[in-house]
Amino acid sequence: MNDDTIAAISTPLGEGAIGIVRLSGEEAVKIANRIFTGSDLTKVDSHTIHYGKIVDPKTDEMIEEVMISLMRAPKTFTREDVVEINCHGGLASVNRLLELVLERGARLAEPGEFTKRAFLNGRIDLSQAEAVMDLIRAKTDKAMDVAIKQLDGKLSKLIQRLRQNLIETVAHVEVNIDYPEYDDVEEMTKGVLLEKTTDVYQEIEKLLLMAKQGKILREGISTAIIGRPNVGKSSLLNTLVQENKAIVTDIPGTTRDIIEEYVNIRGVPLRLIDTAGIRETEDIVEKIGVERSRQALKEADLILLVLNNNETLSDQDRQLFELVNDLELIVLINKTDLADKLARNEVEQLANGHPIVSTSLIEERGIDELEEAITSLFFGGQLESADISYVSNVRHIQLLKQAMSALDEAKSAIDLGMPLDLIQIDVTRAWSILGEIVGDTVHDSLIDQLFSQFCLGK
Amino acid sequence: MVYDAGHYDVIVIGSGHAGVEAANASAKRGANTLMLTLNLDMIAYMPCNPSIGGPAKGVVVREVDALGGLMGQVIDKTYIQMRMLNTRKGPAVRALRAQADKPLYIAEMKHQLEKLDHLTIRQAMVEKLIVEDGVCKGVITETGAAYYAKSVVITTGTFMRGTVNIGEISYQSGPNNQRPSVKLSENLEELGFKLVRFKTGTPPRIHSKSIDYSKTEIQPGDDQPGHFSYETKDKIIDQIPCWLTHTNEVTHKIIDDNLSLSSMYSGQIKGAGPRYCPSIEDKVVRFHDKPRHQIFLEPEGRETEEVYVQGLSTSLPESIQEKMVRSIAGLEKAEIMRSGYAIEYDTVVPTQLWPTLEVKNIKGLYTAGQINGTSGYEEAAGQGLIAGINAAASALNIEELVLDRSQGYIGVLIDDLVTKGTSEPYRLLTSRAEYRLLLRHDNADIRLTEIGYRLGLIDEERYQKFQTKLTLIKEEQERLQKQTIKPSDELNVALEKVNESHLKEPVKALDLMRRPEIDYSFITQFAPADKEIPNDVIEQIEIQAKYSGYIEKSLQQVDRMKKMEEKNIPENIDYDAISGLKEEAKLRLKEVRPLSVGQASRISGVNPADISILLVYIEQGKIATVS
Ligand SMILES: Cc1cc2nc3c(=O)[nH]c(=O)nc-3n(C[C@H](O)[C@H](O)[C@H](O)COP(=O)(O)OP(=O)(O)OC[C@H]3O[C@@H](n4cnc5c(N)ncnc54)[C@H](O)[C@@H]3O)c2cc1C
Ligand SMILES: Nc1nc2c(ncn2[C@@H]2O[C@H](COP(=O)(O)OP(=O)(O)O)[C@@H](O)[C@H]2O)c(=O)[nH]1
Ligand SMILES: [Mg+2]
């Protein structure tokens, strides 16, 4: 049963600490290799460490610079191939790495599973079996506890409803199969099936979006203000801070002597970050080079790029646009109280669809519009009421993603003209994955559904 | 006065659908077998609907056939109508269903058994098992005959303390007024069996001449009838149609008004009934706003005028049954020949059995069929076969057989029974099988013939024919895999005709066949075969090409399942000594005594953490087991 490869975050989560994503199993090396640019991990020696970058193969996006320790079986903790990805990022980037390896074929480890494997593979002494069992029990109970706490009633109800939709659909397919002659039951068509699957798919998509929003609400939107000297960056910062009676925390920066501010924009916390010392930065490229600044800026959820309305566009401006074009970006044209010298057309072109807001920080104009733009960027304009539930548990989020991809497979099977009874396999899988979130995986409920939904029999 | 009536290897009690397969399998394996039954004129009698097969069940018939069983061959010889169901759906759920000629089926089955070597058939009522020191050694009949054997199979169906109910009338009886089996049931209780009561029912039968068929809709058989047994040759016979009519508001009102008179609703019946076979009373109550329900009129045979009224199972009083029947279009003048009734009977809680169907606490004793809480002829046949195989195995000390969930519906059925038990009469449904794409009716021979041959249930000649088929499939697949089809005008015209897009690059023939609208015959127009390829071979090639992605996925799941299945749990494990297990898990594990970690993981109330702990515990080995 240890044929699959498991992954988990293996350091206590926390700001600042080195985060480790650990993989164990036959595919550990292959999976890590799929997202790693650097040495070919499948070829390197055991018990070696490699520096390189993690890249999302889907988008080619560079995620993180990491150190990878690679240890081949049997001289490892689990006696399986083990890969540890060490990264410097905080919670967010470790989670991102975990997500990536899960997408590439690893499975989220059960509580205590590394230890369990170590034991089953003979790595841990038999005399410690008792301790291992206790650990599994304790970790499971704790994980359950956390999971339950993080799954409030509303969310659980919502997921139950989605499951109910799916199972009714599946039961419908099943009844057509097991009772082909009952004309009382209308035939499930691919059209209807597609519609139902798509509905649930979209609901899950929404849940995941809200999960992202929930995370933002908890952690703040990390924001970097960039622009050439004297365009008004400091003024913007001060305005935001004053305007919003900011929750200012004085945390001395470590790289430079700066202050990290939190401001509250219409209920959304903005965390003005100092990424590699580039918060409110004018000379970033010169300082750390193009590639690294791109990386550094990626840490931010939001970039505010400030331009001066009173000057013509410079090459430096253009270069900044290039740096941030694929990020969440708002362009500010400041000093609109002064004469227009900026070529608006070109700015619009460079902004490439990102919102543009005109401000005069001196006259305090355009601030509302900016705040509007920020909230609508992250919450589609309307911030859900405060008592809304967010999915916050990593496991839950992972399961939701799996359910979505099962539904996606069902949808493409429909496109391929596969028969309903095969399409159904993936729909049922989505249903049972969702069941893991709410702790209900009993297969028999399909049969219960069948007979409560339809009138069958002799 | 008890007398020694003889010694055998295996005794089978009962000759229903389970009993006949058990006796056949046991005898074919070379065990000296005795089959005892209440009435030799009722061998393999169908107490309810005159049909065999359908989704899931039809696959079981083919599995039974591939393991040398009788049901497929006998129905192929005696059917009056044959239909392939779900033809417009995927290959995994296609299924054959036959309307049976009931009397002929009985005669044919009896004759098949009479021709077998190693089988003795005897009419008798068994009252008692001879059990010494936890080992079953034989049986004693009501006439005092003591038959001794190394193993015994009980397949006594709905006869166990059977009670027939019609309205407020209730009397002890087996199905269709046969004698009930009361003493044997009591004896099982004395032996410590946990029994529960289940119930089922059957509709009235009516005289064909009294039906106005013009008011009903004809349901003919297939033009090209298929067959169940892999041994049966294609042939066309004269088929007899069924007919469709419906209940209506008047019917429902009659039922509503008289509900309190139904045995089921008056509280007279306590046993759990099957949800998938509700009585008409149930249907009207539970689905009150349905304006009508389907009623199929099914002839019970060629040489009889009796017609089975499918959809009208009831335990209403006779007088009401008549009113109800006559309210239905086409049945206004219907003459009832036999009344519908409900029957209550004892069943053995199946978690008391090992997957071989041997009773856990009594060595050498097996149970199979409806007595294990199932319902249906095919479910009975599948279990009978396995019990017969294993009873012979234990008597002769030869190989046992347990099918897992990926090998057959029979495996699913038995695993469900012995692992989860059942709270109502259990019926197979395709949705109970997690690997149903692998458990198709077209490949039952491929799945099981090898096993049948190894166990001595399939003869050399049939085995060689099967090998030839396998070789043909492989060779033809390889040919299509190698041969390239190039784009051409002719090809593209043909593609257009079936709504497929043009071919731009050359492709392998097999890959072109993966397209939804392209079948084997299309391919051979452009890449002809060098020899005659039979239809059943073509079918395998098409299915394996078209659904390879899904098949592959299923096979991976099976692999994972098998690994868990291979982790054995020592028989003397002491669950109480495993501190990490939750109490509920301990209770369930002690009850089911799973043989493998895989089986344990399917028990409800045993969760993944319990399984992890169990694994660790087993791994550390031998400490703290019960001696
Ligand atoms: C009223 C009724 C309605 C049903 N409805 C349905 C339905 O809707 N759907 C469905 O799928 N199935 C239905 N069934 C069930 C189906 O008939 C059975 O599942 C199937 O026949 C069971 O086969 P079996 O071999 O286990 O038992 P049976 O066919 O009942 O055979 C039992 C055998 O045991 C013998 N026997 C019993 N006691 C003794 C004894 N003491 N000594 C010696 N021999 C003995 C009998 O003579 C008989 O040969 C119904 C059955 C009945 C009676
Ligand atoms: N006229 C005008 N002056 C502005 C505006 N915003 C900022 N300034 C002035 O521009 C100068 C540079 O501003 P500062 O915020 O320090 O720019 P930074 O170098 O980007 O941080 C200061 O003298 C500001 O008062 C504006 O909207 N209009
Ligand atoms: Mg400044």
pLDDT digits (tens, 9 = 90+) for B591-614: 999 999 999 999 988 988 888 888
Maximum average pLDDT range among A77-81, A454-458, B23-27, B604-608: B23-27
Please tell me which residue, A35 or A130, carries the higher pLDDT value. Answer: A35
Are the Cβ atoms of A442 and B432 closer than 8 angstroms? no
In this predicted model, what pLDDT tens digit does every residue of A284-308 receive, in sequence order? 556 666 666 676 677 788 899 999 9
Contacts of A133 in chain B (CB under 8 A): 578-580, 613, 616-617
CA distance B20 to B569: 34
Please report the ipTM that was assigned to this predicted complex: 0.83
pLDDT of residue A338: 94
How close does chain B come to A451, measured CA to CA in Å?
6
Residue A255 confidence class, pLDDT cut points 50, 70, 90: very low
Residue of chain A minimizing CA distance to B204: A458
CA of A230, closest atom in ligand 2: 19
Average pLDDT, chain B: 94
Q: CB distance from A113 to chain B under 8 Å?
A: yes
pLDDT of residue A278: 47
Q: How many Cα neighbours within 13 Å face the side chain of A276?
A: 18
The residue type of A365 is: R
Residue A91 confidence class, pLDDT cut points 50, 70, 90: low
Residue A441 confidence class, pLDDT cut points 50, 70, 90: low
Q: Which are the contacts of A389, defined by CB distance < 8 A and separation ≥ 6?
A: A152, A154, A155, A158
At residue B116's C-alpha, the angle toward residues B114 and B121, to 5°, is 45
In this predicted model, what pLDDT tens digit does every residue of B113-164 receive, in sequence order? 999 999 999 999 999 999 999 999 999 999 999 999 999 999 999 999 999 9
Instruction: List the single residue in B92, B277, B620 with the smallest CB-CB distance to A458.
Output: B277
Q: How many Cα neighbours within 13 Å face the side chain of B281?
A: 26
- A91, A92, A95, A97 alpha-carbon torsion, rounded to 10°: -120
Residue B334 confidence class, pLDDT cut points 50, 70, 90: very high
pLDDT at A254 over 70: no
Helix (H) or strand (E) holding A142: helix A129-149
pLDDT of residue B176: 94
Residue of chain A minimizing CA distance to B283: A455
In this predicted model, what pLDDT tens digit does every residue of A330-350 receive, in sequence order? 999 999 999 999 999 999 999
CA distance A382 to B125: 79
Maximum average pLDDT range among A280-284, A394-398, A423-427: A423-427
pLDDT of residue A13: 46
Asked if A235 contacts A359 with a C-beta cutoff of 8 angstroms, the reply is no
Asked if A413 contacts A426 with a C-beta cutoff of 8 angstroms, the reply is yes
Of A48-52, A105-109, A270-274, B289-293, the one with minimum mean pLDDT is A270-274
Of A42-51, A113-122, B233-242, B561-570, the one with minimum mean pLDDT is A113-122
pLDDT of residue B623: 40
Helix locations, A220-314, DSSP H: 233-243, 284-288, 290-298
| Ligand positioned closest to the Cα atom of B372 | 1
Q: Which residues does ligand 2 sit against, CB inside 6 Å?
A: A 227, 229-235, 334-335, 337-338, 360-362
pLDDT of residue A390: 63
Q: Parallel, antiparallel, or unpaired for β B145-154 and B3-13? A: parallel
Mutate to test the pocket of ligand 2, among A226, A230, A239 (most ligand atoms within 8 A of CB): A230
pLDDT at A144 over 80: no
- What is the mean predicted confidence (pLDDT) over A166-176? 88
pLDDT at B380 over 50: yes
Maximum average pLDDT range among A100-114, A254-268, B531-545: B531-545
pLDDT at A171 over 50: yes
Which residues neighbour ligand 3 (ion) by CB within 5 Å? Answer: A 234
Residue A64 confidence class, pLDDT cut points 50, 70, 90: confident
CA distance A194 to A415: 9
pLDDT of residue B432: 92
Dihedral sign computed on CA atoms, order B428, B381, B104, B85: positive
Contacts of B286 in chain A (CB under 8 A): 455
% of chain B residues with pLDDT over 90? 84
Residue B203 confidence class, pLDDT cut points 50, 70, 90: very high
pLDDT of residue A253: 29
pLDDT of residue B375: 94
Of B91-105, B464-478, B605-619, the one with minimum mean pLDDT is B605-619
Contacts of A137 in chain B (CB under 8 A): 580, 609, 613
CA distance A304 to A306: 6
Residue A5 confidence class, pLDDT cut points 50, 70, 90: very high
pLDDT at B324 over 90: yes
How close does chain A come to B373, measured CA to CA in Å?
17
pLDDT at A252 over 70: no
Dihedral sign computed on CA atoms, order A384, A390, A392, A395: negative
Residue A27 confidence class, pLDDT cut points 50, 70, 90: very high
Please tell me which residue, B399 or A160, carries the higher pLDDT value. Answer: B399
CB contact burial A42-57 (16+ within 10 A = b; e otherwise): eebeeeeebebebbee
- What is the mean predicted confidence (pLDDT) over B335-342? 97
In this predicted model, what pLDDT tens digit does every residue of B494-547 receive, in sequence order? 999 998 999 999 999 999 999 888 999 999 999 999 899 999 999 999 999 999
In this predicted model, what pLDDT tens digit does every residue of A347-394 receive, in sequence order? 999 998 999 999 999 998 999 999 888 888 876 644 444 444 566 667
Residue of chain A minimizing CA distance to B422: A444
Ligand 1, atom 29: nearest CA belongs to which residue?
B16
How close does chain B come to A1, measured CA to CA in Å?
6
Phi, psi of A375, rounded to the nearest 5 degrees: -65, -35
In this predicted model, what pLDDT tens digit does every residue of B482-497 receive, in sequence order? 999 999 999 999 999 9
pLDDT at B218 over 60: yes
CA distance B468 to B449: 13
pLDDT at B369 over 70: yes
Residue B474 confidence class, pLDDT cut points 50, 70, 90: very high
pLDDT of residue A246: 36
Please tell me which residue, A228 or B473, carries the higher pLDDT value. Answer: B473
Q: CB distance from A415 to chain B under 8 Å?
A: no
Asked if B475 contacts B534 with a C-beta cutoff of 8 angstroms, the reply is no
Q: Which two tokens stand for residue A246?
A: 């900011």
pLDDT at A7 over 50: yes
% of chain B residues with pLDDT over 70? 99
pLDDT of residue B244: 95
Please tell me which residue, B118 or B284, carries the higher pLDDT value. Answer: B118
Could you tell me the distance, in angstroms and rounded to a whole number, from the CA of residue A364 to the centre of ligand 2? 12
Helix locations, B327-408, DSSP H: 377-396
